[in-house]
A and B are shown apart, each in its own frame.
Chain A
Amino acid sequence: MRALSSLLKKIFLVDLFQGLWVTFRNQHPKYIYTEQYPAERPQVAERYRGAPRLNINPDNGQTLCIACDLCALACPENLIVVGSERNLQTKRKELTFFTYDLSRCMFCGLCEDACPVDALELTQDFELASYTREGMIWDRQMLEEGPRPTPYKC
C-alpha cells in the first residue's frame, strides 16, 4: 500500500506541486518588497532629512530668513554662507545671498534645529544628483525653488 501511494506520488509529481505552491503563495502582493523606483517613487517619512529649502512667506513671496547666521555657526562642515546687509531705512538686516554646499552636507539636521524662524528646513526631496560639482552648490534661488528632478517616462 505504501509503495503504491509513493508510486502515485511520483507519477503525479505531488512533491513538485507542493514546492511550487510555496513559490506561488509568495506571489501575493503583500510579500513583494521590490520597489519599482523610477516608475514608482517611494514615499519617504514626514521627518525625512533631505534637500534643504529656504522657506518664503507664501503671502508676499518674501524670504523668512532673518540672516541671523545661526545655521552657518551650527553647521559642523561650515558649508553655509549667509550674506546680509543692513537696510538703512528699516534698520534691519536683510538677506543678500545664501549658499549651501550640498556636496559636503551630511544631513545631520543641526542647521534646521538652529533656525529660530523655521526658514531653513530639510525637506523630503531626495533626488539630488548633479552632473557637475558646481551644481551641488545651491544658491538662494535654488534653495527657495527646490530641486527639479527630471520625471521618468515609462
Chain B
Amino acid sequence: MSADATFLDSTELVLNMGPQHPSTHGVLRVILKLDGEKVLGTDCVIGYLHRGVEKIGENRTYAQFNPYVDRMDYISAVSNGLGYCLAVEKLLNAEAPPRAQAVRVILTELNRVASHLFWLGTHALDIGAITPVFYCLREREEALKIFEKYCGARLTTHAFRIGGLQYETYDGFEQDIRDFCAMFVPKIDEYEELLSGNRIWMGRLKGIGILNAEECKEYGVTGPVLRAAGVKWDLRKAQPYSGYEKYDFDIPTRESGDTYDRYVVRMAEMRQSIRIMRQAVDGIPEGPVMAKVPKVIKPPVGEAYVSIEAPKGELGYYIVSDGSTQPYRVRVRPPSFVNLQALDRMVAGGLVADVVAIIGTLDIVLGEVDR
C-alpha cells in the first residue's frame, strides 16, 4: 500500500459471523477476513458456552459427575456417558457385565443415529434444503422416545452408571429397537432420494472444504471427517470397547475428503449403526446389569485414558485419581474442539457461502467445544 492510500484501497474486509448466527450451530464467533466474496482467512472465537465442566469434575464425586458429561455434547449424551463410565471402570479395574455391555452398545448406536439425523437436518437447512430437517427430526423423535422409555429423559439421558446400568430394560425394549430399525432403513433411502442426486446439493457440496488424509492427521481430526478423506480409522474396530469386537460391521470411507463425501460417509454410518443394533438386540445375554462396584467409588491412585468413537469423532476421557472419592483431574478430549481447528484450512480460498456449509459438515456442538 502506498503512503497516500486510504482504507478504501485495502482489499481486506473483516466481518464477524456469529456468535448469534444461526448457521454457526450455537455460539461460535468466526472472524472472516474477506476479499469481496473470497475468504482469505478465519479466526474462531470460542468460549461463549464455557461452564468449566472439567473443574466441576474435580469438585464432585465420581458418580455425581456422571450427569454433567451429558451436557457437553448434548446431541449425543449417551456416548459421552459411555466414555466417562468406561474411564472410571478402567480406574476401578471393573468391567460391566455382558448384558449391560450389549444394552450400552444398542443405546450408543441409537444415539449415533439420532446425532447424525440432527446433523443431516441442520446441515441441509444451512445449505437451503428445508424439507430434510422436518423428516430427520420426525425420525429422531422415535429414537428419543426409546431413550425416554428406557431411562426417563430424552436429551440429557444419564443412561449409564459406573459399573453397568442403573435401569433394567423395560418390557418390549427389544421390539422397540427392532421396530425402529425396520422403520428407519427406508427413511435413509428417502433422505438420499431427496439429497444425493440433487443438483443444488451436489453443486454446493462437491469439491468444497477439501481436507485430505495428510492434513487430517496433522490436525488430529477424527470421525467421519477423517474417514471421508480415505483413512480407515474407527476406534470401534481399532481398539474395541464395550464388546464391539463381537459385532460385524464395516467402516465406510470415501476418497476425496470434500463436504459431499462427508455426507455420504455419515449416511453409510447410519446404515452400519442399524446393522450393529440388529445384531446386538438379537443377542442380549441374560444376567445382571451391574458389576460389583462399591457404593462409594474410591479408585486406587492412578490415571486412565479411555477414548471411544463418538458420533463426531474420538471422544477421550483422561482421569487422574488421588485415591479419594473425587477425581484429582478430569480432562476431556472432545472431537468437536479438535475438528474445529481444521476450519481455517478448509475455508481458506473459498467463498463466504461455503463457510456455512463447512461449519455444518464439521458437525460441531458448541457445548462440547467450550465445555
Residues of chain A touching chain B, judged by Cβ–Cβ distance below 8 Å, are 33, 44-49, 74-76, 106-110, 113, 122
Q: Is the CB of A48 within 8 A of B60?
A: no
Question: Known contacts A45-B148, A45-B149, A76-B68: does B60 contact A113 (CB below 8 Å)?
Answer: no
User: With an 8 A cutoff between CB atoms, is B141 at the interface?
Assistant: yes
Bound Cα distance A33, B144 (Å): 14
The residue that B152 contacts in the complex, of A49, A75, A76, A106, with Cβ under 8 A, is A49
Bound Cα distance A46, B68 (Å): 24
The residue of chain B having its C-beta at the shortest distance from the C-beta of A76 within the complex is: B64
Q: Which residues of B contact A113 (CB under 8 A)?
A: 166
Q: Is the CB of A106 within 8 A of B167?
A: no
Bound Cα distance A46, B148 (Å): 9
Count of inter-chain pairs, beta carbons less than 8 A? 45
Q: Is the CB of A108 within 8 A of B166?
A: no
Interface of A is mostly: loop
Q: Is the CB of B153 within 8 A of A107?
A: yes
How many residues of chain B have a CB within 8 Å of chain A? 22
Chain B nearest CB from A78 CB (Å) reads: 10
Q: Which residues of A contact B141 (CB under 8 A)?
A: 33
What 1/0 flags go to B139-164 for Cβ under 8 Å of A?
00100010011111100101000000
Chain B nearest CB from A123 CB (Å) reads: 10
Near A by CB (< 8 A), chain B positions 149-190 give: 149-153, 156, 158, 166-167, 170
The residue that A108 contacts in the complex, of B67, B138, B148, with Cβ under 8 A, is B67
The residue of chain B having its C-beta at the shortest distance from the C-beta of A75 within the complex is: B64
8 contacts between A and B (CB under 8 A): A33-B138, A44-B148, A47-B150, A49-B153, A74-B64, A76-B65, A76-B68, A108-B66
Q: Which residues of A contact B66 (CB under 8 A)?
A: 108
Q: Which residues of A contact B151 (CB under 8 A)?
A: 47
Q: Is the CB of B166 within 8 A of A47?
A: no
Chain A nearest CB from B32 CB (Å) reads: 36
Bound Cα distance A75, B60 (Å): 10
User: With an 8 A cutoff between CB atoms, is B63 at the interface?
Assistant: yes
Q: Which residues of A contact B148 (CB under 8 A)?
A: 44-45, 47-48
Bound Cα distance A136, B145 (Å): 27
Q: Which residues of A contact B67 (CB under 8 A)?
A: 76, 106, 108, 110
